[in-house]
């Protein structure tokens, strides 16, 4: 008598082998549903008769072999992915800037983990902002741009999975995007995703961005192993980005210091050749900063009207720094800097920053 359960095992093993072959082609993993089907078909064989015959025993052996083959293939794929992730991070570490690093992330992620496509986004307050390549390079991102603009800003609504990534600082895996109410419409209606994985980028414990990836053209689902890989990649990417950003900030500050030093050196060199002159003492009344009491103050006396902080601001104005850079350098609010600049212009009787800088240099150099 033909065994229905044994035939079911043969079909399950055949489908599992086909699934493993597809997974191997795309550096993917065996889906949990495949193992579940093998388990169910094996249980059906055991439940079919109280005493197993040769056909039933052979069917159970075939299931055990396929399970072992799936485990071994997944182990090899996982090891290979770890190696490729390490290599990808090494290439990103050599990027010239943090901007270049972010631009190359999607390509390196897909190459290392076998995904069909990937996207990186940044988080700013209550919005997440996909970082898109220039128009014309990728049809998917062009459709995204058509739907949401060149600089899309998507709200982190309470029920979205991205909000959960920020709140719980965990990765996510979506099996069926079309039926999951927590999935943003961008993934379903624009990107056409069926299932995908995502991970937060959080170098210092605070989520500053996301990675998303899927296997849309591969006829293969994303798995828990894919989730582990993208989470691992995101963890190390966060550290790389933080390192690059800090290095750039240090270079910027060093350049600002060098600019100030150069301006001071020029002033000192100018003073060396200046012929000193005796100046009459500045009247006490002229040192007042209220009203127009400083109208008759001599040019050198006007320098004395400046507070220590205003002199710091003036030195940076002479060095050509903007209000934003001055605020960052002196750890002040930009509005506070604007107020200092206004006081400086009034005290030096200058109409603009350039005139104030020139007048300051002339006074310091002893010129009339």
Delimit the domains of the chain by residue range.
4-77, 95-247, 274-365
**pLDDT > 70: percent of the chain:** 90
Residue 222: left if φ>0, alpha if ψ -120 to 50, beta else—which one?
beta
In sequence order, what are the residues at sequence separation of 6 or more whose Cβ sits closer than 8 angstroms to the Cβ of residue 39? Answer: none
Q: What is the pLDDT of residue 288?
A: 46
Q: Which pLDDT tens digit goes with each residue over 36-53?
A: 999 999 999 888 877 778
CA–CA dist 212, 215 (Å, integer)? 11
CA 237 vs CA 14, 105, 131, 233, 263: distances in Å = 40, 9, 15, 6, 39
Name the burial class of residue 31, with classes exposed (0-12), middle (13-18) and buried (19+) by CB atoms within 10 angstroms of its CB.
buried
Q: What is the pLDDT of residue 168?
A: 93
Neighbours of 324 (CB within 10 A): 10
**pLDDT higher for 357 or 64?**
64
Place of tokens 């699934």: 19
Q: pTM to 2 decimals?
A: 0.70
CA–CA–CA angle 130, 134, 140 (5° rounding): 60
Position 88 confidence tier, pLDDT thresholds 50, 70, 90: very high
Q: Which pLDDT tens digit goes with each residue over 172-208?
A: 999 999 899 999 888 888 888 889 999 999 998 899 9
Q: What is the pLDDT of residue 300?
A: 61
Q: In the chain, how many H helices and how many E strands? A: 13, 6
Taking domain 95-247, whether its CATH number is 3.30.450.40 is answered by yes
Place of tokens 């350049």: 255
CA–CA dist 240, 173 (Å, integer)? 24
Q: What is the pLDDT of residue 229?
A: 97
Q: What is the pLDDT of residue 1?
A: 47
Q: What is the pLDDT of residue 190?
A: 80
Position 277 confidence tier, pLDDT thresholds 50, 70, 90: low
CA–CA dist 211, 213 (Å, integer)? 7
114: pLDDT strictly greater than 90: yes
Pair 214, 193: CB distance under 8 Å: yes
What average pLDDT does this structure show over 119-139? 87
CA–CA dist 312, 156 (Å, integer)? 42
Q: Which pLDDT tens digit goes with each residue over 302-355?
A: 777 888 888 889 889 888 888 888 888 888 888 889 988 998 888 888 888 888
CA 268 vs CA 79, 169, 363: distances in Å = 63, 54, 13
Position 297 confidence tier, pLDDT thresholds 50, 70, 90: low
Closest C-alpha among 322, 326, 303, 316 to residue 263:
316
69: pLDDT strictly greater than 60: yes
Q: What is the pLDDT of residue 280?
A: 59
Q: What is the pLDDT of residue 230?
A: 97
- Mean per-residue pLDDT of the chain: 86
Alpha helices of 122-168 — where are they, by DSSP H?
139-148, 161-168
| Terminal-residue alpha carbon distance, the chain | 117
Give the full edge-to-edge strand order of the sheet including 196-201: 154-155, 127-130, 117-124, 209-214, 196-201, 172-174
Q: At what angle do helices 308-318 and 323-330 cross, to 10 degrees?
A: 130
- At the top level of CATH, the class of 274-365 is mainly alpha
Position 289 confidence tier, pLDDT thresholds 50, 70, 90: very low
Q: What is the DSSP letter of 275?
A: P
Position 119 confidence tier, pLDDT thresholds 50, 70, 90: very high
- DSSP run (H or E) holding 197: strand 196-201
**pLDDT higher for 144 or 35?**
35
Give the SS3 label for residue 348. coil
Position 134 confidence tier, pLDDT thresholds 50, 70, 90: confident
28: pLDDT strictly greater than 80: yes
Name the burial class of residue 121, with classes exposed (0-12), middle (13-18) and buried (19+) by CB atoms within 10 angstroms of its CB.
buried
CA–CA dist 230, 159 (Å, integer)? 22
């Amino acid at each position: 008598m033909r065994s229905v359960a044994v035939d079911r095992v043969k079909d399950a093993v055949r489908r599992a082998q086909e699934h493993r072959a597809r997974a191997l082609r795309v550096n993917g993993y065996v889906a949990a549903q495949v193992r579940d089907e093998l388990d169910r078909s094996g249980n059906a064989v055991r439940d079919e008769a109280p005493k197993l015959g040769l056909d039933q025993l052979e069917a159970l052996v075939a299931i055990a072999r396929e399970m072992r083959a799936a485990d071994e293939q997944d182990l090899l794929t996982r090891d290979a992915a770890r190696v490729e992730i390490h290599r990808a991070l090494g290439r990103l570490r050599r990027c010239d800037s943090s901007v270049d690093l972010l631009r190359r992330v999607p390509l390196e992620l897909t190459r290392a983990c076998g995904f069909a496509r990937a996207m990186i986004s940044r988080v700013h307050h209550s919005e997440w902002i996909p970082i898109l390549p220039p128009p014309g390079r990728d049809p998917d991102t062009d459709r995204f741009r058509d739907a949401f603009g060149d600089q899309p800003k998507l709200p982190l609504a309470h029920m979205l999975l991205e909000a959960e990534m920020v709140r719980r600082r965990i990765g996510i895996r979506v099996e069926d995007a079309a039926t999951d109410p927590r999935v943003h419409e961008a993934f379903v209606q624009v990107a056409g995703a069926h299932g995908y994985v995502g991970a937060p980028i959080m170098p210092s414990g605070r989520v500053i961005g996301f990675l998303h990836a899927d296997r849309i053209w591969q006829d293969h689902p994303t798995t828990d192993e894919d989730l582990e890989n993208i989470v691992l990649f995101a963890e190390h990417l966060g550290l790389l980005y933080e390192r690059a950003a800090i290095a750039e900030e240090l270079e910027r500050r060093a350049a600002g210091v060098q600019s100030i030093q150069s301006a001071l050196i020029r002033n000192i060199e100018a003073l060396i050749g200046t012929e000193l002159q005796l100046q009459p003492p500045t009247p006490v009344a002229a040192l007042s900063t209220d009203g127009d009491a400083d109208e008759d103050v001599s040019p050198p006396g006007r320098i004395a009207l400046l507070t220590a902080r205003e002199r710091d601001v003036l030195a940076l104005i002479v060095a050509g720094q903007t209000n934003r850079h001055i605020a960052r350098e002196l750890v002040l609010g930009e509005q506070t800097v604007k107020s200092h600049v206004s006081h400086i212009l009034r005290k030096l009787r200058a109409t603009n920053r350039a005139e104030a800088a020139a007048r300051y240099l002339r006074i310091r150099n002893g010129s009339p």
